[in-house]
Amino acid sequence: MRAPFDTDTRPRKDSLRLTPRKVPQQPIVAPPVSRLAVQLGRLKLANPVLVASGTFGYAREMQAFVRFERLGGVIPKTVTPLPRKGNPPPRTVETSAGLLNSIGLDNDGLEAFIEKHLGYLSGLGTALIVNIAGRTIDEFREMAVRLDEFPQIAALELNISCPNVSCGVDFGIDPRLTAEVVSKVRSACRFPVLAKLTPNVTSIAEIARAAADAGADAVTLINTFQGLAVDWRRRRPVLGAGFGGLSGPAIKPLALRAVCQVARSVNVPIVGVGGIASIDDVMQFLVAGASAVQIGTANFYNPSLAERLVDELDAALAGEGCASVSEIVGTLQFPGDE
């Protein structure tokens, strides 16, 4: 079975087989900490390869395919204060080189997350970054206060950029609101704070600067682009909610542009996400200015990818003669820089 977004028709040695593999009794030793470790503000990670919220469930779904301790961190699906039923189906549709989704932040709410999932996630042997979303700034703050009771959490990622729910991007399109929500959360808890930003703005650098000035330890670039799939015969949108968020290889050039723009104008660590499916993709994001990356849509068709990329990144850095990830971050030679 070939990955759905792969347009290369040549035979591949790593053709996808979604069957559980036998995990060795002795886990593979992680590559040297001195080379792969990264620092995102107050957040230290063993390596810069994370899995993106909304593409990895609560990790239990992936335990047959991934050794979690090999990853830099796990970001479970977004948690909201109260349960959300999400959007009506259909919720996903494949597009040319991408995926359009309209899940609508379907989840059981904060207390259910704490009761049912936090214990398991805390024992994975990797950094746990909890992604949260609220309808108001006070809801963000109150969630941070509640989660602050659990020191096993490594950081919070603020979802101020979801295009698939009412008011989902309001905080991420206004610099003032972005700054206010980041500031409130930062003051309400001990955790490092990552602000996940929307690309659906005129100047993403302006939003990133507001988040950084308010105390964000890093910004995650980018969430999905709002898009539409049409069933022209029925004269209807394909997705039950109409519009959805586009992810996958189709958005990688746009994500790289956002990372580059922010890296060149704002002094803040960047977590790059958008269409990453190979070690070349990872290296492109690092060179463009990201200090870490998240694997998103690729998890759906190659759930072992993130773990494999950790080893491939170590080899790529060694091949470049780099003693650390930071040596290659932001080394893009842009026209006019000479």
CA gap 338, 125 in Å, rounded:
44
Helices (H) and strands (E) in the chain, counts: 10, 16
What is the rounded CA–CA span in Å between residue 32 and residue 35?
6
Which residues have CB under 8 Å from 235's CB, separation 6+? none
C-alpha–C-alpha distance, residues 8 and 54, integer Å: 27
CA distance 247 to 222: 10
Other Cβ atoms within 10 Å of 286 Cβ, number:
29
Query: Which candidate in 162, 167, 189, 260 is catalytic?
Result: 162
The secondary element (H helix, E strand) that includes residue 76 is none
Do the Cβ atoms of 301 and 16 come closer than 8 Å? Answer: yes
Q: How many Cβ atoms sit within 10 Å of the Cβ of residue 331?
A: 12
Range list of H helices, the chain: 33-36, 110-112, 118-122, 137-147, 175-188, 204-213, 252-265, 279-288, 298-301, 305-319
Catalytic (active site) residue 167? no
DSSP label at residue 114? I
Helix H or strand E segment including 295: strand 292-295
Q: How far apart (Å, rounded) are the C-alpha atoms in residues 49 and 34?
A: 15
Q: Which residues are catalytic?
A: 162
